[in-house]
Structure formats: structure tokens, C-alpha cells
């Protein structure tokens, strides 16, 4: 089942039931649905939270989950990370949180959502060139939109030549 089908199934599963091996509509669930329209129920074991704080925390969780989905769909193929040492687990979590923080700051500063911003940022690439004696790393030419984005974020454009390394000479 593809992502779209799984999402569709998750949305409507509450209105379906299996009866005699066949899937059919659950009339009672459909009848009860309008009572919950526009409402959500939160349960917390922290009795010091106000209703407003619980709602804000829940909405923040939704933003974080959206950010993680965005990271997973990116050009960098992320897979499960298996760490045994507590320090490595902690470092991994901190890097993920930092990446999400940067993403949210960029969205907040620009007033745009991450997906088109990421597409624009992906246009800036480092290219490797080699001659007989040297290895060069050169950035691509930024688009006018990317230049505006960097200016809005108060980030200086990387140098055109990123690095030059001499190659070992062969005797």
C-alpha cells in the first residue's frame, strides 16, 4: 500500500468495520462523528499544565512531526540509526533537534514553508574539478531568488572557490 493509500485508510478507518469477512460502513461511528467536529481531546499526566499550555504543546508536536517528515523526504537518505553509547544517542538527537530548529527559524524568518525553500537551497551545489596537479571545489552560481533568500536570512554567500588541494605527485 502506497503512502497515499495508507493516509486515506487512516482517515476513514474509524468509519469502517469488518462484518462477516466484509468491510462495511459503521453507521454508529458516522452518526457520532459530527459531535467531535472541530474538537480534540488531550490527555496529560501533568496536572500543572493549563488547558492552553497543553494545546500549544500539542500543536508544537504536530509541527515537529511535520518537520521530521520533511527531513525524511529530503535528498539525504536517512535510515535508522543504531547507537549503543548514550553519548552518541544524545549527540544524534541534538543534531536532529538543531536541524529542525534551523528549519523552523528559516521558515519563521522568511514567512515561507520549508519545501519550496529547500528546493531553492538545493540549487546551491559544490562541484569538484581536478587538474593534473590540483583538486578544486567550486560552488554553483546562485539564482537571484537564492541571493534574496540568503540576504533575508542574513547569511553571506559562500566563496565561489571553496577549496583547492594539491594532488600527491606521482614519481
Query: Averaged in consecutive runs of 10 residues, what is the pLDDT profile of the chain (171 residues)?
Result: 51 80 86 79 84 83 72 60 80 82 89 88 91 92 94 93 88 59
Say how many C-beta atoms besides its own lie within 10 A of residue 140's C-beta. Answer: 12
CA dihedral over 103, 142, 158, 135, signed as positive or negative: positive
pLDDT of residue 124: 92
**Per-residue model confidence (pLDDT) at position 165:** 93
Same domain assignment for residues 69 and 22: no
pLDDT at 29 (0 to 100): 85
Q: Note whether 61 and 92 are same-domain residues.
A: yes
**Residue 49 and residue 112 in one domain:** yes
- Say how many domains are in the chain: 3
Residue 146 lies in a domain: yes
Q: What is the pLDDT of residue 1?
A: 45
Helix (H, G, I), strand (E, B) or coil at 22: strand
Do 117 and 52 have their domain in common? Answer: yes
Q: Does residue 109 belong to any structural domain of this protein? A: yes
Based on the domain organization, do 70 and 108 belong to the same domain? yes
In a domain, 14, yes or no: yes
Q: Which domain covers residue 161, as residue numbers?
A: 124-166
Residue 15 backbone dihedrals phi, psi, to 5 degrees: -100, 10
Give pLDDT, residue 74: 58
Burial class (CB in 10 A: 0-12, 13-18, 19+), 49: middle
Residue 26 near residue 19, CB atoms below 8 Å: no
Supply the pTM of this predicted model.
0.50
Same domain, 135 and 159: yes
Looking at the fold, whether 50 and 69 belong to one and the same domain comes out as: yes
Q: What percentage of the chain's residues is helix, strand, coil (to nearest 5)? A: 50, 15, 35
The answer to whether residues 136 and 130 touch, using CB atoms and an 8 Å cutoff, is: yes
User: What confidence score (pLDDT) does residue 92 get?
Assistant: 81
Amino acid at each position: 500500500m502506497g503512502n497515499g493509500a495508507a493516509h486515506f485508510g487512516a482517515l476513514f478507518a474509524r468509519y469502517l468495520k469488518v462484518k462477516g469477512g466484509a468491510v462495511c460502513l459503521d453507521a454508529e461511528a458516522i452518526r457520532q462523528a459530527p459531535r467531535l467536529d472541530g474538537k480534540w481531546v488531550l490527555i496529560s499526566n501533568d496536572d500543572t499544565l493549563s488547558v492552553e499550555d497543553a494545546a500549544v504543546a500539542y500543536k508544537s508536536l504536530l509541527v515537529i512531526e511535520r518537520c521530521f517528515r520533511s527531513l525524511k523526504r529530503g535528498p539525504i537518505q536517512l535510515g535508522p540509526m543504531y547507537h549503543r553509547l548514550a553519548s552518541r544517542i544524545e549527540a544524534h538527537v541534538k543534531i536532529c533537534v538543531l536541524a529542525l530548529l534551523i528549519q523552523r527559524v528559516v521558515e519563521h524568518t522568511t514567512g515561507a514553508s520549508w519545501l519550496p525553500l529547500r528546493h531553492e537551497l538545493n540549487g546551491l551545489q559544490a562541484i569538484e574539478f581536478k587538474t593534473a596537479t590540483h583538486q578544486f571545489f567550486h560552488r554553483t552560481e546562485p539564482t537571484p531568488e537564492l541571493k534574496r533568500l540568503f540576504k533575508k536570512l542574513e547569511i553571506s554567500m559562500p566563496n565561489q572557490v571553496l577549496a583547492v588541494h594539491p594532488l600527491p605527485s606521482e614519481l
